[in-house]
Structure formats: structure tokens, C-alpha cells
Amino acid sequence: MTVSFRTAVDPSEPGGPRWRVGVGAVVVLLFVVLAVSVAVSAFATRGGAADELVTVEPGTGAEAGAGAGTAPPAGASVVFVHVHGRVAAPGLYELPHGARVVDVVAAAGGFTDEADQAAVNLARVLVDGEQLRVPAVGETADDGVAGGGGTVDLNLADDAALQTLPGVGPATAAAILSWRDENGRFRSVDDLLGVPGIGPKTLETLRDRVRV
């Protein structure tokens, strides 16, 4: 298509020369305007998509107390743990079943500068409903064993603490921990009768040495 622009001067008309544009030029201009409109629309659409903010709803895991963390998978069992003392964000935390002390300390923002980190057994498996206190340097942690030959908390004690009990060796301690993992908290000392290897006689030996 040939596009021509012609200028004609009609001396009989006032106001000087007038521009006269050919029909072909008008069609080309319309195509140009249409193409520019399409390009601007496409650019605006892409820009809007890039600026869209996608908000992901948080789960009900450790972030409920600390603002961070990962929710447990759907259908997974969970444990609730109250952690306090020398951590950045004390509070109640929900963690997946099988989580350890190191997990709840991390969910609580980690230790503070005053925390006695060596007093806490980070490898211990957490149990539902427990309260964990992180002591300051010089304080005593409650990690299952009371000082001065006191009682052992069946819901907090680790393998080493359980083996301080009379008649409890590695096999029985492992059985107690296994029962706790499978059934949750000990509700009473009598629940020890459900642990393989512990009968009425052993229970009476342990009764004054343990607590729940």
C-alpha cells in the first residue's frame, strides 16, 4: 500500500493552506493506534500480576507462640509444650509428635544471653502437656530429676534420669520412654503397670521415687 500525503493550497479559501491526507494514510494510522493500545493493555496486565500479594495463612504450629515455625502435616499428632525461663519468647507451643527440646527452644526464639544452655537436655523428646523451664546460669533446671535425691518426673525424665531409679536399667528405661511416646503423658504412677517389665512389686519400689 502506498501512503501519500498531499498538500494543496486553495487560494480562494481564507486561512492559508490546508492539509489533505489520503485514505491509505488514515487506515495506517488507525492500525498504529490499535497496536499501541494492545501493547499498553498487555503491559498493564503483566504489571498488575507482578504486584499481586499472595498471602499464605499460617498453620497452628509453633508460630502461634513465636510467630515462626512450620505447621505439622495434616493428620499428624501434636504435642503442646509450655516453655518459659531464659528463652526469647516464652509461651505455649504446638509441635509435631516426636519433636525434641531443641525444637521448642528454637520455636521460642532461642536462648537468651543469660541461659544456662548446658543445663537443658536438647535431645530429649517432648511429651504433651509438659512445662519446660530454661534456667539462668547458676539456677537449677527441671529436666525430670529433682535435686538432693528427689523424685523423677516420668513425663520429663530422659533415659539417663530414668536409670537413676532403683531396678531400672537400660531396657526398662527404654520401655518407659517407648510407652510415653505411644500413649502420651503418664496420668498417674500406676500407669507404670502398662510398661513391659514393670509389675506390681517393681511399682511399689518406684512409687516413692517417681512423680507425674
Q: pLDDT class for 192, splitting at 50, 70, 90?
A: very high
* Dist CA 47 CA 41 (whole Å): 10
CATH of the domain at 85: 3.10.20
pLDDT tens, 142-183?
Answer: 556 544 346 888 988 888 888 888 889 899 999 999 999 898
CATH of the domain at 201: 1.10.150.320
Contact of 47 with 70, CB cutoff 8 Å: no
* Dist CA 204 CA 193 (whole Å): 10
Quote the pLDDT of residue 89: 95
Could you give the percent of the chain with pLDDT greater than 70?
A: 59
Residue 133, beta-bridge partner list: 84
Q: pLDDT class for 50, splitting at 50, 70, 90?
A: very low
Residues 150, 208, single domain; the answer is yes
Residue 210, beta-bridge partner list: 152
Residues 115, 150, single domain; the answer is no
Quote the pLDDT of residue 30: 66
- Supply 186's cell numbers: 503418664
Residues 161, 192, single domain; the answer is yes
Quote the pLDDT of residue 130: 81
Residues 131, 86, single domain; the answer is yes
Q: pLDDT class for 26, splitting at 50, 70, 90?
A: low
Contact of 185 with 211, CB cutoff 8 Å: no
Q: pLDDT class for 38, splitting at 50, 70, 90?
A: low
Beta-carbon contacts of 145 under 8 Å, excluding residues fewer than 6 positions away, are 152, 153, 157, 161, 164
Residues 137, 161, single domain; the answer is no
Residues 139, 64, single domain; the answer is yes
Residues 160, 133, single domain; the answer is no
Closest CA to 111 of 158, 153, 78, 119: 119
The H-or-E segment that residue 63 falls in is: helix 63-66
Domain end position, chosen among 123, 143, 163: 143
Domain end position, chosen among 89, 117, 143: 143
Closest CA to 130 of 159, 157, 149, 168: 157
Residues 120, 72, single domain; the answer is yes
Give yes or no for residue 129 having a pLDDT over 50.
Answer: yes
Quote the pLDDT of residue 60: 36
Residues 181, 127, single domain; the answer is no
Mean pLDDT of 98-109: 94
Quote the pLDDT of residue 144: 61
Structural domain boundaries, residue 115:
60-143
Give yes or no for residue 10 having a pLDDT over 60.
Answer: no
Residues 160, 112, single domain; the answer is no
Tell me which residue has cell 502506498.
Answer: 2
* Dist CA 33 CA 103 (whole Å): 62
Quote the pLDDT of residue 59: 38
Beta-carbon contacts of 64 under 8 Å, excluding residues fewer than 6 positions away, are 58, 92, 93, 94
Give yes or no for residue 48 having a pLDDT over 70.
Answer: no
Domain total of the chain: 3
Residue type, 125: V
Give yes or no for residue 76 having a pLDDT over 70.
Answer: no
Residues 16, 68, single domain; the answer is no
Residues 125, 108, single domain; the answer is yes
Domain end position, chosen among 125, 143, 161: 143
Quote the pLDDT of residue 113: 94
Q: Helix, strand, or coil here: 81? A: strand
Quote the pLDDT of residue 90: 93
pTM (2 d.p.): 0.42
End-to-end CA distance of the chain: 95
